[in-house]
Amino acid sequence: MNNKIYFVCPTNKSISGGIKQIYRQVEVLNKNGFNAVVLLKNHIKEKWFESNVPIESNPYLFKKIKYSYKNKSINFWRNLVLKYLRLKSKTFEKDSILVFPEIYGPRICEIEPEIKKVIFNQNCYYTFEHFQLDENLSKIPYNQNILATICVSEDSEKYLKFAFPNLPVYRIHLGIDNNVFKYSAEKKRQIAFMPRKLSEDVVQVINILRNRGRLESWDFVAIDNKTEIEVAKILRESAIFLSFNHKEGFGLPPVEAMSCGCYVIGYAGEAGKEYLKPEFSSLIPDGNIVKFVEAVEKTIDIFETNPMVIIDKGKKGSDFANENYNLKREDANITSVWKNILN
């Protein structure tokens, strides 16, 4: 494939699954004969997961993006900064493609306007980030001549097709590396969770369980700022994983937990409804703290009486995750989508 594909990738201070998926897509494309790179503000790659994808930097583009989503006018000093950064940054090939995440607002088509664009929309609920109530919708990227939008869940696909009926939307199935997130039936009395989202719900659920005396023989493990390998080890040991999904584009951590054999309890965040099935998980209505605690207590009771009931459900969840969200399917989806976009 001749077109060079630049994946514009933000730099986060904290670990982000969305960034990992950008790297992953670039990796798959290069493996299948495409010419793709991760484009960063500075030439510093993420260190919390392994990846050897090609990387380039373009501080000029990222400054333009910042001025765009903050709706900054280009005064004399900003123009001077841009001219300086332009000298430090390469010029894009005329037939190249810029792939933007969904988070950069309504005016990305004004950035490098002659270059074709795709939006990798990993969370449909961020689609209108930086929009005004009276935004000129005729000029937003989803209504302009972008090549396509790529999303990662059934929920996002429905949302985007409903919001933008004329937009070409392609869905890819994300893949779990089950060499990392391996199934284990050896489970401790351990409950894992990620505290970054809905921290107020996390605090309520855990403290109510503590106050009701239900955690005396159980350990709670917060998964935060850990490498992929460290996360997988915790999940393999844990009998239960608590999902605090909130308006997710997909919500990968519960699926990683399922792959490791955890019984998942918690919120779907809409997108998670496609994988939180009653045969091997407990789906809680968003925000219902009492039902959340009741489901955890019920699962603890069953595990303490007959742990194989929960372990067997964890195995069913792992089988479902590996059948539906595997790297082979993800590779095939990504390759097929990009062939359609470029044709």
Which domains are seen in the chain, by residue range? 4-174+327-342 (3.40.50.2000), 188-324 (3.40.50.2000)
Token pair of 158 as six digits: 């429905």
- Find the range with the poorest average confidence among 10-14, 174-178, 313-317: 10-14
Handedness of CA 58, 59, 64, 68 (dihedral sign): positive
pLDDT single digits (tens) 168-227: 999 999 999 999 999 999 999 999 999 988 999 999 999 999 999 988 899 999 999 888
Q: Which long-range contacts (CB under 8 A, 24 or more apart) does 82-90 make?
A: 85/59, 85/60, 86/60, 88/59, 88/60, 89/57, 89/58, 89/59, 89/60, 89/61, 90/56, 90/58
pLDDT of residue 13: 63
CB 285, CB 266: distance < 8 Å? no
pLDDT of residue 73: 84
- pTM, 2 dp: 0.92
Q: What gap in Å lies between CA 342 and CA 334, rounded to an integer?
A: 12
Among 192, 207, 280, residue whose Cα is nearest residue 243: 192
Q: What gap in Å lies between CA 289 and CA 266, rounded to an integer?
A: 10
Q: What gap in Å lies between CA 331 and CA 27, rounded to an integer?
A: 10
Count CB atoms within 10 A of the CB of residue 159.
21
Q: What gap in Å lies between CA 65 and CA 73, rounded to an integer?
A: 12
Grade residue 18 by pLDDT with cuts at 50, 70 and 90. Answer: confident
Grade residue 70 by pLDDT with cuts at 50, 70 and 90. Answer: confident
Token pair of 148 as six digits: 């396509």
Grade residue 45 by pLDDT with cuts at 50, 70 and 90. Answer: low
Q: Mean pLDDT over all residues of the chain?
A: 93
Backbone angles phi, psi at 249, to 5 degrees: -75, -35
pLDDT of residue 48: 62
pLDDT of residue 90: 87
CA 8 to chain centroid, in Å, comes to: 15
pLDDT of residue 49: 66
**DSSP tally for the chain: helices H, then strands E:** 10, 12
Grade residue 242 by pLDDT with cuts at 50, 70 and 90. Answer: very high
Please say if the pLDDT value at position 14 is more than 70.
no
pLDDT single digits (tens) 270-286: 999 999 999 999 999 99
pLDDT of residue 334: 98
Grade residue 305 by pLDDT with cuts at 50, 70 and 90. Answer: very high
Q: On the CB side of 76, how many CA atoms lie within 13 Å of its CA?
A: 0
Q: Which amino acid is at 282?
A: S
Rounded average pLDDT over 239-260: 96
Q: Which amino acid is at 224?
A: D
pLDDT of residue 17: 76
pLDDT of residue 79: 87
Counted residue by residue, the chain has a size of 343
pLDDT of residue 74: 86
CB 164, CB 142: distance < 8 Å? yes
Q: Which long-range contacts (CB under 8 A, 24 or more apart) does 134-139 make?
A: 135/106, 136/106, 139/106, 139/107, 139/109
Grade residue 42 by pLDDT with cuts at 50, 70 and 90. Answer: confident
DSSP β-ladder status, 97-101 and 4-8? parallel
Token pair of 119 as six digits: 């939006």
pLDDT of residue 51: 76
Strand stretches in the chain, DSSP E: 4-8, 35-40, 55-57, 97-101, 116-120, 148-151, 169-171, 188-193, 219-222, 238-244, 263-267, 281-283
